[in-house]
């Protein structure tokens, strides 16, 4: 009888131990499940030339993190869908990521026009995201779990124009009048609104201020109206397809202001630079990360990008978007490792209260998730002689004019100077 009881006790102990080991094994297996980071990305459509760079930058970050053991000992996985450069597709994608895919974290999307409709959906779910290259997308929502991967600083709308107009202010004789033109869409209108503020602050006079429909493909009539205004400065805000149309039409009609440029986003992409070639000469444009910027780790990331760009169908240079996209991943990863948490509130608190050392330079966030200091740059294309790739690898062909502490050359002025 006693022997039987002992056998039953041993059997019970064994079953209990086995069950405990099974639970522990299941827990360990669960902890090794990937940390899934969801996003939409513009992989087709009008801004895909930039979206592909952003995605590859994040994939390189993912691979670097996983090579070091992942985050909290778990591998990182990216879950993404093509939003086709269409703002209307974004809310449903982020809803799917959170409700169906149940991703652990969010990043993106790319571009103001896509980030703006993503924020309300993310807010409803009380989650956090780091928007990529979105201009003042959170200025109406003031969501405290949103952060911007764009170096516009505390005055994001003005950042796409202020440097250009400050350069103009220093010229002698000083230009006086400005013509403004931009697409009737989120990004362009934010940039134009900021330009109006900069113009008022610096004492210029607006004599032309018009928008055009985002569906516009023929810009000859648009630019003839600008030409008729005869402004000293022409400031344009446009996404990639519009950039080609605006610059080409300006050349065709012989537009000759004293200064021409603005937030011409297309000229951040190498295929468009090559397409326009000498037509890009003397344009002054805003850039988030000009080719001459270098910070800790920048060269290593760009070497990996250049080795993979062709196979990914991405821009052959990539400086405009890759370092800051990678840096967005770095910030998210640093917050996860520091807090040892995937809790969105804890992560947002950490990101808001710390400075980050990234391949895109030092970054600290302030109001509305914008950077506390601007690092937007204004550059000018100079002495472009053809449509080949090699010359666009040369910083001397894309001269950094502002901020003055990073200045690499002098402004060619007036605008048609290199074409005489």
Query: How far apart are the C-alpha atoms of 207 and 388, rounded to whole Å?
Result: 37
> Is residue 138 scored above 50 in pLDDT?
yes
Q: Can you give the pLDDT at residue 416? A: 80
- Average pLDDT of span 167-174: 95
Stated as kind and residue range, the H or E segment containing 164 is helix 162-169
Q: Is 71 helix (H, G, I), strand (E, B) or coil?
A: strand
Place of tokens 């220093």: 170
Least confident of 6-10, 83-87, 128-132: 6-10
- Residue 97 has a CB neighbour count (10 Å cut-off) of 27
- DSSP class of residue 372 equals S
Is there a shared CATH topology between the 35-151+294-369 domain and the 158-287+382-419 domain?
A: yes
Q: Quick one: how far is CA 221 from the chain centroid?
A: 31
- Average pLDDT of span 7-15: 52
**What confidence tier does 23 reach under pLDDT thresholds 50, 70, 90?**
very low
Write out the CATH class of domain 158-287+382-419: alpha beta
* Cα pseudo-dihedral 374, 380, 384, 388, rounded to 10: 20
CATH architecture group of domain 35-151+294-369: 3-Layer(aba) Sandwich (3.40)
Query: How far apart are the C-alpha atoms of 416 and 413, rounded to whole Å?
Result: 8
User: Of 32 and 147, which is predicted with more confidence?
Assistant: 147
Query: How far apart are the C-alpha atoms of 107 and 117, rounded to whole Å?
Result: 14
> Is residue 26 scored above 80 in pLDDT?
no
Instruction: Answer for the pair 111, 50: CB distance below 8 angstroms, yes or no.
Output: yes
Query: How far apart are the C-alpha atoms of 353 and 349, rounded to whole Å?
Result: 6
Q: Can you give the pLDDT at residue 18? A: 47
Q: What is the average pLDDT score of the chain?
A: 92
Q: What does pTM read for this prediction?
A: 0.88
Domain locations in the chain?
A: 35-151+294-369, 158-287+382-419
């Amino acid at each position: 009888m006693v022997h039987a009881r002992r056998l039953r006790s041993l059997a019970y102990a064994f079953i209990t131990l086995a069950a405990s080991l099974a639970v522990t094994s299941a827990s360990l297996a669960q902890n090794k499940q990937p940390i899934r980071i969801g996003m939409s990305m513009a992989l087709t459509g009008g801004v895909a030339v930039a979206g592909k760079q952003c995605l590859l930058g994040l994939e390189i970050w993912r691979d670097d993190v996983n090579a070091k053991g992942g985050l909290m000992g778990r591998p990182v996985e990216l879950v993404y869908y093509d939003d086709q450069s269409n703002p209307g597709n974004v809310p449903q994608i982020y809803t799917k990521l959170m409700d169906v895919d149940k991703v652990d974290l969010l990043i993106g999307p790319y571009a103001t026009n896509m980030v703006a409709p993503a924020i309300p959906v993310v807010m409803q779910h009380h989650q956090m995201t780091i928007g990529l290259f979105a201009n003042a997308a959170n200025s109406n929502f003031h969501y405290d779990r949103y952060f911007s991967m764009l170096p516009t600083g505390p005055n994001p709308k003005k950042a796409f124009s202020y440097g250009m107009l400050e350069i103009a202010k220093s010229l002698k004789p000083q230009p006086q009048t400005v013509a403004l033109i931009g697409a009737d869409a989120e990004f362009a209108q934010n940039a134009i609104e900021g330009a109006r503020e900069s113009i008022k602050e610096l004492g210029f006079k607006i004599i032309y201020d018009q928008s055009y429909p985002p569906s516009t493909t023929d810009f000859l009539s648009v630019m003839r109206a600008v030409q008729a205004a005869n402004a000293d400065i022409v400031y344009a805000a446009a996404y990639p397809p519009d950039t080609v149309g605006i610059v080409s039409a300006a050349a065709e009609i012989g537009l000759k202001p004293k200064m021409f440029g603005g937030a011409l986003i297309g000229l951040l992409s190498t295929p468009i630079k090559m397409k326009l070639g000498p037509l890009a000469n003397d344009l002054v444009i805003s850039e988030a990360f000009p080719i001459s910027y270098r910070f800790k780790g920048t060269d290593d990331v760009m070497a990996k990008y250049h080795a993979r760009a062709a196979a990914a169908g991405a821009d052959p240079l990539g400086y405009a978007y890759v370092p800051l996209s990678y840096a967005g991943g770095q910030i998210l990863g640093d917050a996860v490792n520091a807090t040892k948490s995937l809790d969105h509130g804890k992560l947002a608190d950490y990101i808001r209260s710390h400075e980050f050392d990234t391949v895109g330079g030092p970054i600290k966030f302030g109001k509305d998730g914008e950077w506390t200091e601007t690092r937007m740059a204004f550059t000018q294309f100079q002495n472009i002689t053809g449509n080949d790739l090699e010359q666009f690898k040369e910083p001397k062909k894309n001269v950094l004019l502002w901020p003055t502490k990073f200045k690499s050359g002098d402004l060619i002025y007036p605008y048609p100077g290199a074409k005489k």
